[in-house]
Structure 1
Amino acid sequence: MSPAWGLRRAVARRFREPAAQAGDPGHAARLATYLGDLLEPYALGAPGGMAGGQSYGEMAAALLPDEPVDALVLAYDIPDVEPGRATATWLSHVCPGGPMALSVSDQGRAGAHTALRLLRDYAGSGTYERALLVVAEQSALPYEPGVPAEVPAEHCAVALHLGPSTVEVARPRIVRGAGPHDVVDLLGEAGGATVVLGGHLAGVGVKADRVVLADPAQPMTGVWEALASVDGPAVVADFDPALGYLCVSAFGC
């Protein structure tokens, strides 16, 4: 991989309206049947409606680049309003370049860092140099999950456009079993880089000239939305209390 592989730009968008499918009675009925069948063995009760839900496919499609890319990864945590769609495959079809595409889920906040690590490793192998990482979350959870879960306040998606760049991406670090204050040692001295901290890291005394706090109401996308507003070198750090993952990704450091 060329040392110049990294972040080209980051684009964030909040979606104020629900997906068209979310208001379709036929889709709602099929979704209720599907979710009910999945929930029944776990005695979690009947699913509610997803009238206000959003589609990760539609959200991601709104952030696709005009130029072709080689690889696309969708990272999410909250289920999609359209679980019947193979979203990554569909995005490969509509994205310029027909990229290799996959999804990363069930890792909480670590999902986006895992996706970034995968794309960096793919680029390092000499394939899939130009890439797109889409981090998305929608705010409708139609059932009680039975475990602690943080549901976002709004629908949001962030696209990280990756490829030849002077803003090199270091290999993301994901530490399991860590606590919020372990981020101080993990980050070390950030120097002139802006440090973006997830909601559960607010108040931790990191050594940095500038610290930006992500919106705590957006568990998955908060840090990446904040990154999109930062100029220059940046370090993104997030902590998932449910899974005990401490994650750090550096850009241009």
Structure 2
Amino acid sequence: MPGVSWGLRRAVARRFEGPAEQAADAAHTALLATYLTDLLEPYGLGPAGGTGDGQSYGEMAAALLPDEPVDALVLAYDIPDIAPGRATATYLSHLCPGSPMAFAVSDQGRAGAHTALRLLHDYARSGTYPRGLLIVAEQASLPYDPGVPVEVPAAHCAVAVHLGPSTLEAAVPRILPGVAPEDVAGLLGDVGPATLVLGGHLADLDAKADTIVLADPAQPMTGVWEALASVEGPVVLADYDPALRYLCISSFG
């Protein structure tokens, strides 16, 4: 979009009480248990119960879709959906005004949302998909032991980040791999006259900014994006994944 600023228009966050309707469906729960058993068995793992209290990303995201048309929609998540049989991004494209091109990003920890933002940024700059919608979602049920340490969110939460022509221009997100904890402050630097939102693992960081907001540490994926929905003006989101050692920095304005 040469000559036109593209970036944050607004962000809307919502937490969802209770499980999805599908979670109460005995037939769905039985099929999900079979599906998980088949996938986990080769690794010596198995379901651990809890399939009855999860949430559906399709239903969560549908509640946050805008009224105006969208050109591109990207869903970012980390914890698996309780409805793995649904092509959720395609489902959301069907529901969303504009029938946007839609896909999902996962398996990157909390870096997934920043990768999704970068993709939307690049698509917009191509001039083909100027109106973007980033949906970041996590549900608080992991019905199996993955065999490695993992952070499970405390609440079902989804955030819709609306992107397009804006005075809060979005810079290209920085996703830095292989970052040691002691190097985070130096790589982040002084963000200047902006609000800095720090992810849960950066709460003790000696950061330099006009205003510092701490994201909810109990929401590994959605924490910084939920905080984005509550601040105004120029803002920088900084998140760190200690397991994957990704430092992610996304700025608006």
TM range (shorter): over 0.9
- Count of residue correspondences: 252
Q: What is the one-letter code of the residue matched to 2:217?
A: P
Aligned ranges for residues 97-136 of structure 1 at < 5 Å? 97-136=98-137
Deviation of 1:189 after TM superposition, in Å, equals 1.8
- SS of 1:51 mapped into structure 2: helix
Which whole-Å CA distance do the structure 2 matches of 1:92 and 1:181 have between them? 42
The equivalent of 2:74 in structure 1 is 73
Identity %: 75
- SS of 2:51 mapped into structure 1: coil
Name structure 2 gaps, 5 residues minimum.
none
Aligned ranges for residues 141-156 of structure 1 at < 5 Å? 141-156=142-157
Which whole-Å CA distance do the structure 1 matches of 2:219 and 2:157 have between them? 8
Q: 8 Å contact 2:36–2:46 — kept in the other structure? A: no
Deviation of 1:185 after TM superposition, in Å, equals 2.3
Aligned ranges for residues 179-190 of structure 1 at < 5 Å? 179-190=180-191
The equivalent of 1:63 in structure 2 is 64
Q: 8 Å contact 2:6–2:166 — kept in the other structure? A: yes
The equivalent of 1:46 in structure 2 is 47
Pick which of 193-202 and 38-47 moved more: 38-47
- SS of 2:249 mapped into structure 1: strand
Which whole-Å CA distance do the structure 1 matches of 2:222 and 2:184 have between them? 19
CA distances 1:28-65 after superposition (whole Å, capped 9, x unpaired): 00000000000000001334231110000000000000
Which whole-Å CA distance do the structure 2 matches of 1:194 and 1:182 have between them? 21
- SS of 2:153 mapped into structure 1: coil
The equivalent of 1:138 in structure 2 is 139
Which whole-Å CA distance do the structure 1 matches of 2:181 and 2:143 have between them? 30
Which whole-Å CA distance do the structure 1 matches of 2:180 and 2:135 have between them? 27
- SS of 2:207 mapped into structure 1: coil
Q: Normalising to structure 2: TM-score of the pair?
A: 0.98
Q: What is the one-letter code of the residue matched to 2:192?
A: G
Q: 8 Å contact 1:181–1:204 — kept in the other structure? A: no
Deviation of 1:181 after TM superposition, in Å, equals 3.7
Which whole-Å CA distance do the structure 2 matches of 1:142 and 1:156 have between them? 18
Aligned ranges for residues 1-253 of structure 1 at < 5 Å? 1-2=1-2, 3-252=4-253
Q: 8 Å contact 1:32–1:47 — kept in the other structure? A: no
Deviation of 1:226 after TM superposition, in Å, equals 0.5
Q: 8 Å contact 1:177–1:244 — kept in the other structure? A: yes
Which whole-Å CA distance do the structure 2 matches of 1:147 and 1:30 have between them? 25
Q: 8 Å contact 1:115–1:133 — kept in the other structure? A: yes
Q: Normalising to structure 1: TM-score of the pair?
A: 0.98
